[in-house]
């Protein structure tokens, strides 16, 4: 157990350190290129632009590199024009900063672009105040182009993130916190509201579910963008589209979990052994899904477990309004688990009808899960391409 925790901590540390190594390498490369091409001794804009562009979550770095580049270009151009017309006094700095911010705002810029536009104007005016030549702004513009260009090469060519892995990490974390919340919910249904520690744990899980759902909401579109824009991962577009749909469906699954947890927190439901057992089974189904979302067998097993729980939950009416609300929450959760696992929405919605058949999970695309080699390696991509060629020949 201790060894597995140490290994998990080491993997987490390596995963968090690898982007820092990339940012350091990009800054160094940008500096070297700027010194040799820019032909000036202090090309600080180039490494700064590279580091800032790479200081975002994977899947967002390429787009933010372009935003940074546009913001810096706006600031430097406005700053240089202000120096030429008015010089480099404090009034010039105020005017250039304001104009750069107004232009960035008019272009619908986000905060990064606005900050870089203002910073570009300020640094251009400040750099020009101690020099007699008019090339300070041009040099900074060249540096910014180099830094952002290096960042784009790193994010789009050398180290593009695997699009499915982006979403998978977020989904696994969200499913894990949902399963933990459901396990606490089952305990709360069995004990009632007297256990303050259990109550606090449920509240914490509810907050964690919301945070992880927000992360999934960002990761889904990011994975689709990476698959659509990256040359290396273009073949992943069908699987990325499937995953993006899953990222939307997991929001409904999370809402059902929150509703059931909220019912357990607010209601006094002791002695509901059957209801507690149903919630435990659903927690187990979600845990299975988080372990391997690429397995059709696991998806079908989750559908089967949710189907069985839903049928049992609809057999007998609850004796009170509070217990009926909890039973309804279980049925909604079963429905969302089945749809998330790949069952057709129509089949899943009919699950509470006595004559409804057991729904089946749709199989993911062929390239949805490719075990064996790490998904980011060159050998992995080469093996995937060779497999595709063999299928076409057949």
| Same domain (yes/no): 36, 130 | yes
Burial letters for 183-207: b for 16+ Cβ neighbours within 10 Å, e otherwise? Answer: bbbbbbbbbbeeeeebbebbeebbe
Query: Between 136-153 and 2-33, two packed helices, what is the crossing angle to 10 degrees?
Result: 140
**Alpha carbon 305 to chain centroid distance?**
28
Shared-domain flag, residues 37 and 134:
yes
Instruction: Confirm whether 50 is domain-assigned.
Output: yes
CATH of the domain at 330: 1.20.58
- Tell me what pLDDT residue 115 has: 84
Say whether both 47 and 174 belong to one domain. Answer: no
CA-to-CA distance for 70 and 80, rounded, in angstroms? 15
Residue 358 within any structural domain of the chain:
no
Q: 209 and 75, same structural domain?
A: no
Task: Report yes or no on whether pTM surpasses 0.75.
Answer: no
Q: What are phi and psi of 343, to 5 degrees?
A: -70, 145
Angle at which helix 45-54 crosses helix 2-33, to 10 degrees, equals 150
* Residues 281, 183 share a domain: yes
User: Among residues 277, 286, 99, 247, which one has the least CA distance to residue 185?
Assistant: 277
Cβ atoms < 10 Å from Cβ of 237: 17
> Rounded to 10 degrees, what is the CA torsion of 147, 148, 154, 160?
160
Q: Are 239 and 260 in contact (CB under 8 A)?
A: no
Residue 309 sits in the same domain as residue 336? yes
Are both 102 and 174 inside the same structural domain?
Answer: no
Other CB atoms within 10 Å distance of the CB of residue 222: 25
Q: What is the pLDDT along the chain (394 residues), one digit of tens a residue?
A: 456 567 666 766 776 787 888 888 888 988 888 888 756 667 777 888 788 777 766 666 767 777 877 888 888 888 888 888 888 788 888 999 999 999 988 887 678 788 888 888 887 888 776 554 555 566 777 887 888 888 888 877 777 777 777 778 888 889 999 999 999 888 887 665 566 777 788 888 888 888 888 888 887 777 777 766 666 666 667 777 777 777 888 888 999 898 888 876 666 665 577 788 888 899 999 998 888 777 788 888 888 888 888 877 765 555 566 667 777 788 888 888 888 888 877 776 766 565 555 666 655 554 444 333 344 444 445 445 544 554 455 4
Domain total of the chain: 2
Residue that finishes a domain, picked among 114, 137, 157:
157
User: Can you give the pLDDT at residue 356?
Assistant: 53
Residue 286's nearest CA partner among 356, 185, 163 is 185
Cα distance between residue 380 and residue 326, in whole Å: 46
Measured CA angle at 265 (ends 322, 253), to 5 deg:
90
Does 372 reside within a domain? no
Looking at 95, 122, 157, the residue that finishes a domain is: 157
Residue 1 located in a structural domain: no
In a domain, 109, yes or no: yes
User: CA 346 to CA 353: how far, in whole Å?
Assistant: 12
Nearest to 166 by CA among 243, 267, 66: 243
Neighbouring CB atoms inside 10 A of 261's CB total 23
Same domain? For 223 and 113 the reply is: no
Q: Which residue has the tokens 């039973």?
A: 327
Does residue 286 form part of some domain? yes
**Does some domain include residue 379?**
no
Helix (H, G, I), strand (E, B) or coil at 376: coil
Residues 88 and 215 reside in one and the same domain = no
Cβ pair 175, 299 in contact under 8 A = no
Cα separation, 335 vs 181, whole angstroms: 18
Q: Looking at residue 98, what is its pLDDT? A: 92
What is the sign of the dihedral through the CA atoms of 76, 82, 85 and 87? negative
φ and ψ of 361, to 5 deg? -80, 135
d(Cα 335, Cα 337) in Å, to the nearest integer?
Answer: 6
Residue 10 forms part of a structural domain: no
Residue 104's domain spans which residues?
16-157
Q: How far apart are the C-alpha atoms of 199 and 339, rounded to whole Å?
A: 30
Q: Which of 124, 157, 190 is the last residue of a domain?
A: 157
189 plus 241 within the same structural domain: yes
Return all residues near 280 (Cβ < 8 A) that are at least 6 apart: 182, 183, 186
Based on the fold, state whether residues 131 and 180 are members of the same structural domain. Answer: no
Q: How far apart are the C-alpha atoms of 110 and 97, rounded to whole Å?
A: 16
Nearest CA among 124, 127, 154, 113 for reference residue 29: 154
Pair (118, 197) in one structural domain? no
């Amino acid at each position: 157990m201790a060894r597995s925790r140490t290994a998990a901590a080491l993997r987490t540390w390596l995963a968090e350190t690898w982007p820092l190594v990339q940012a350091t390498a990009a800054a160094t490369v940008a500096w070297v290129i700027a010194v040799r091409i820019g032909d000036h001794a202090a090309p600080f804009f180039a490494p700064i632009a590279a580091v800032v562009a790479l200081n975002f979550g994977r899947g967002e770095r390429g787009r933010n590199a372009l935003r940074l580049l546009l913001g810096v270009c706006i600031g430097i151009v406005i700053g240089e024009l202000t120096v030429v017309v008015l010089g480099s006094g404090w009034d010039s700095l105020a005017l250039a900063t304001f104009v750069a911010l107004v232009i960035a705002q008019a272009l619908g810029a986000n905060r990064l672009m606005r900050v870089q536009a203002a910073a570009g104007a300020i640094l251009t005016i400040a750099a020009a105040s101690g020099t007699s030549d008019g090339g300070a702004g041009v040099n900074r513009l060249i540096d910014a182009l180099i830094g952002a260009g290096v960042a784009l090469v790193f994010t789009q060519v050398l180290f593009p993130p695997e699009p499915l892995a982006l979403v998978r990490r977020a989904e696994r974390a969200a499913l894990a916190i949902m399963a933990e919340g459901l396990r606490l919910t089952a305990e709360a249904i069995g004990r009632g509201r007297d256990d303050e520690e259990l109550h606090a744990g449920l509240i914490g899980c509810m907050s964690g579910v919301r945070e992880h759902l927000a992360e999934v909401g960002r990761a889904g579109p990011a994975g689709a963008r990476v698959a659509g824009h990256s040359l290396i991962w273009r073949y992943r577009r069908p699987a990325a589209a499937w995953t993006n749909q899953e990222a939307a469906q997991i929001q409904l699954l999370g809402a059902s979990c929150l509703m059931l947890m909220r019912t357990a927190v607010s209601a006094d439901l002791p002695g509901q052994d059957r209801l507690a057992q149903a919630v435990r089974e659903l927690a187990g189904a979600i845990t299975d899904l988080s372990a391997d979302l690429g397995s059709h067998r696991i998806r079908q097993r989750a559908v089967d477990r949710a189907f069985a729980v839903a049928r049992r939950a609809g057999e007998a009416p609850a004796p009170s309004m509070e217990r009926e609300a909890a039973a309804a929450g279980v049925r909604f959760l079963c429905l969302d688990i089945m749809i998330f696992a790949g069952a057709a929405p129509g089949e899943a919605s009919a699950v509470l009808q006595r004559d409804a058949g057991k729904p089946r999970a749709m199989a993911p695309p062929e390239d949805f899960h490719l075990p064996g080699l790490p998904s980011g390696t060159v050998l992995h991509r080469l093996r995937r391409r060779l497999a595709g060629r063999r299928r076409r020949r057949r």
